[in-house]
Every structure is written in structure tokens, then in C-alpha cells.
Amino acid sequence: MSDFVYKEDFLVSEVDQYDTRFMSRIDQERMSANIDRLMDNIRLRGQIDPVGIGKLTGDTRYVLVYGFTRFAAIAKLGWRTIKANVYDDLSESEARMLNAENNTMRLDLNAWERAIQIKTLKDQGTAIDSDDPEKHTICKIMNMSRANVYNWLKVVSYDSDKLHSAIASDKVKLTYALVFARYPAEVTDAVIDECIADDWSVSTLELKLLAKVQCPILDTRDAMASDGKSVSPILDDSSIANIQRAGTILMRFTKEQLAALSDSDRIKLHDGLKSILEVIYR
């Protein structure tokens, strides 16, 4: 990692404020509120923590690497200088790692912003974990378990802007996101708003999503062979996976939860199980 020089009075004007490639904050409304709060704090107590400023290899101007909210607050106060850790000849991957490490020590990023950082680090080649205690890894940088890192990577790569938006606005937590990510995006998108509005449990969400999946084995009508005789539907890998998923979900339900199901959900569950049994025992 590149060395840095601490400067008490780095000129604000030397920083390209329009280069925000290392900014982690996505929620601009929250950032604006944080800037206003930080302005009051800095006005009273002065700047406590330095920002990170770097000149990337081959560039001529300095850019912000970390401390975007602090820098914005000080610029808005009209101060000419800022306390900064200044890095020269910095690679882009080093800059992203410095940004992630700095933000890990702060608590103002939401879960989705941290998830985007995980993906950025992974895309630039940072190892998820390692037995080498000296090696920089995503688990160390983000202070997360390996399982959590893999879970967030799965959710980030899931193709649903609606789900990502719900996570970014803190309306959907990781446990729910992982359930949504097991189903097609069109199915997920159809129930997200209802799940949030009605505050479904994870078990209820699984049941609702399963009911919406158009699984071939849930159609009990016999297929017809070319000679006119009925044949049993083929249990392909997808169908078997759906049967296994249904069994897993049912095992999680308590007697009280099953009793609390609405009449329509109870009918769907009954018909689904009946169809599965008819296929299996033909």
C-alpha cells in the first residue's frame, strides 16, 4: 500500500471535487443531511479526522479517496484548507481498498452501500478470505464473515432493480433478500411491495413466492402421448428442486403458523401438495 504524508493545511482548491469515482455513498439525501450535521460539528470543534486525498498514477490532479462528507462540509463552510492524508502515485485498486477500509470504521453507510463496496472489491480482484493473516481480504476490510460476504455478492448480482432499491432504502433486510433471490425476478418484483406493506415473516414470503412460481408439476392434467394414452409428467431437475424447496419450507412452519394461514393460502398449499403426491405416486 502506498505511503501517505499528513498535511494540516492542504488546499481545498487543489482537489478535483467533481471526480467522485471512489464515493461510496449512494443515498444522496442522507449524505446531504450528514453534511449539514457535520458542518455544525466542525464549526464548533474543528476538523477531527483527516480526509484521504490521492494523486493516481499518471494523473496530474488530486482526487478524494475517502472522507467525502467531511470534505463537502468543509467546502460548504468556505474553509480554504483541510486536514488530509495525502497519497501520491496511487493505483486505482489501492484507492478503492483505502476507501473501503476507511468506511468500515464509520457507521453511516447503509447495508446496500456496503454491498456495493464488496462487489467493487471483488471485481478488482481482492480475495474474499485467506489463511494469510497479512493479506488484505474483503472479510477483513468489511469486517464481515465469509458467509455474509458471499450472501451479499449473491444479492448484488441478482437481476432486480426493484429489490436493490428496496434494500438501499432499508425496506428489505438481507434475510428477506436471500429468499427473493432464489426466485425469478418477475416473481420477486410482483410481491415486494406487498411483503413490505404487510410486514410478512420470512416463512410467509417463501410460501407466497412458491405459490407464484409456475411449476409444471402443479398442473395435474395428464399429458397425452401420440397414441392418445395418458402419460405421467416428466420430473425434470427444476421440478425436483421445487418439490425439495416446498418440503424445506413446510418443515419450517410451526403448527400455529399453519393454523394462521388465510383460506386462500391454505387452499393453494393443499392443492400444491396434492399435485406433488399425485405425480410422485403415479
- Single out the residue of 26, 29, 47 nearest to residue 38, CA to CA: 47
Do residues 255 and 197 lie in contact, with contact meaning Cβ atoms separated by under 8 Å?
no
Instruction: Say if residue 193's pLDDT is above 90.
Output: yes
Tell me which amino acid residue 81 is. T
Question: Who has greater pLDDT, 262 or 187?
Answer: 187
Phi and psi at 42, nearest 5°, equal: -70, -35
Q: Over pLDDT 90: what percentage of the chain?
A: 31
Confidence (pLDDT) at 163: 94
Indicate the SS3 state at residue 83. strand
Is pTM beyond 0.85 here? no
Higher pLDDT, 98 or 12: 12
Using CA atoms, how far apart are residues 118 and 122, in angstroms rounded to an integer?
6
CA–CA gap between residue 6 and residue 188 (Å, rounded): 49
In this prediction, residue 62 carries a pLDDT of: 94
Q: How far apart are the first and last CA of the chain?
A: 65
Q: Which amino acid is at 120?
A: T
State the pLDDT at residue 117.
81
For residue 81, give the 3-state DSSP assignment.
strand
Q: Is residue 247 within 8 Å of 221, Cβ to Cβ?
A: no
Q: What is the mean pLDDT of residues 75-89?
A: 93
Q: According to the model, what pLDDT value does residue 219 have?
A: 40
CB environment 46-60: b (16+ within 10 A), e (fewer): ebeebbbbbbbeeee
What DSSP designation does 14 have?
Answer: G
Average pLDDT of the chain? 80
Tens-place pLDDT, residues 208-257: 887 777 443 444 334 444 444 444 444 555 665 666 666 666 666 777 77
Region 45-52 average pLDDT = 90
93-102, 121-130, 166-175, 180-189: segment of lowest average pLDDT: 93-102
Asked if 35 and 72 count as a contact pair (C-beta separation under 8 A), the reply is yes
Give the pLDDT confidence of 136-177 residue by residue, as tens digits: 888 888 888 999 999 999 999 999 999 998 998 889 999 999
